[in-house]
Amino acid sequence: MTQQPLALTPEQVKRYSRHIIMGDVGSAGQRKLMQSKALIVGAGGLGSPSAIYLALAGVGTVGIVDFDVVEISNLQRQILHHSSDIGRPKLQSAIDNIHAYNPDVTVVPHEVRLESDNAMEIISQYDLVINGADNFATRYLVNDACYLLNKALVDGSILIFDGQSTVFLPGQGCYRCLFPSPPPPGMVPNCAEAGVLGALTGLVGSIQATEALKYFLGIGESLCSRLLLIDALSMTFREVKLKRNPACPLCGDNPTVTELIDYEIFCGVAAPEVAGVADN
């Protein structure tokens, strides 16, 4: 994000014209987006709209972590994949479909399970992380790695008719301030067990993409220190104020978590149950 911005080509001026005419974006802002790098954890329900809107906006590099294949049950909500992609690796589907939207974008595939021994190396390559993981082990792993690497994190989650999103910026709290420890295994169902309204994933994923774009552009008021709660049945939005917890084991005054840990043990789940990606 610090390198000298490149000039826009005539085709790019046309492609991004609706950004360029905006006072808060302009050609300078568009060049910022083109030099930005975002990592999306999971090519699922939340990662799909996030990836598409970042690509359409011209974010230069979009990394995606996933190692799953497209299943027919994914298509109810995962708009990054089509019926013709069933059985294909999600990353290959993601690359093809993102490039169909915008061939200018560099898509970097990370076809691995995100774990403690690779998270720091992968996340360190990016300016910001969008977390769409559907399991607690990965959520805590991504949070801890982002904090230790001083990276911005845009968090989101959905279940049935409920969604939420927030932003964690370096030095201004983290996921552990909000949820110091995970719930007991089996207490909170995932989408495969309880279901989710497909359109809700688009709403929350779009919010995550919007927060990422605002961060890259340096404009507006982010969701940092605010948790946005969405009830799709009543279509109501509530905010809960967040603040850094001085007793937080990660970002508090006397941290006890100073490196990545075994998140499967921390969350009380066995290794095979932790997908490491999102299937929201």
Q: What is the CATH number of the domain that holds 99?
A: 3.40.50.720
What CA–CA distance (Å, rounded) separates 196 from 203? 12
Query: Could you tell me the end-to-end alpha-carbon distance of the chain, in angstroms, rounded to an integer?
Result: 30
Q: What does pLDDT average to over the chain?
A: 93
Q: Residue 259 falls within a domain, yes or no?
A: yes
The residue among 50 and 264 whose pLDDT is bigger is 50
Q: How many CB atoms lie within 10 A of CB 103?
A: 8
Average pLDDT over residues 69-75: 97
Q: Residue 156: is its pLDDT beyond 60?
A: yes
pLDDT digits (tens, 9 = 90+) for 159-217: 999 999 999 999 999 999 999 888 887 777 777 788 999 999 999 999 999 999 999 99
Residue 228, domain extent: 36-273
Q: Residue 9 falls within a domain, yes or no?
A: no
Q: 32 in helix, strand or coil?
A: helix
Q: Which residues contact 267 (CB under 8 A, 6 or more apart)?
A: 135, 136, 137, 140, 182, 185, 274
pLDDT at res. 6: 77
Q: How many domains are contained in the chain?
A: 1
Q: Residue 160 falls within a domain, yes or no?
A: yes
Q: 77 in helix, strand or coil?
A: coil
pLDDT at res. 188: 75
Q: Residue 116 falls within a domain, yes or no?
A: yes
Q: Residue 40 falls within a domain, yes or no?
A: yes
Report the Cα 87 to chain-centroid distance in Å. 24
pLDDT at res. 276: 40
Average pLDDT over residues 45-51: 97
pLDDT at res. 3: 54
Q: Which residues contact 23 (CB under 8 A, 6 or more apart)?
A: none
Average pLDDT over residues 229-251: 97
Nearest CA among 212, 238, 207 for reference residue 37: 212
Q: Residue 233: is its pLDDT beyond 80?
A: yes
Grade residue 5 by pLDDT with cuts at 50, 70 and 90: low
Q: Residue 222 falls within a domain, yes or no?
A: yes
pLDDT digits (tens, 9 = 90+) for 104-130: 999 999 999 999 999 999 999 999 999
pLDDT at res. 2: 47
Average pLDDT over residues 29-55: 97
Grade residue 4 by pLDDT with cuts at 50, 70 and 90: low
What CA–CA distance (Å, rounded) separates 242 from 177? 8
The structure's pTM equals 0.93
Grade residue 268 by pLDDT with cuts at 50, 70 and 90: confident
Q: Residue 246: is its pLDDT beyond 60?
A: yes
Q: Residue 13 falls within a domain, yes or no?
A: no
pLDDT at res. 194: 84
Grade residue 1 by pLDDT with cuts at 50, 70 and 90: very low
What CA–CA distance (Å, rounded) separates 60 from 80? 18
Report the Cα 86 to chain-centroid distance in Å. 23
Tell me the CA distances in angstroms from 182 to 167, 179, 207, 265, one per residue in order.
Answer: 19, 7, 24, 11
Q: Residue 279 falls within a domain, yes or no?
A: no
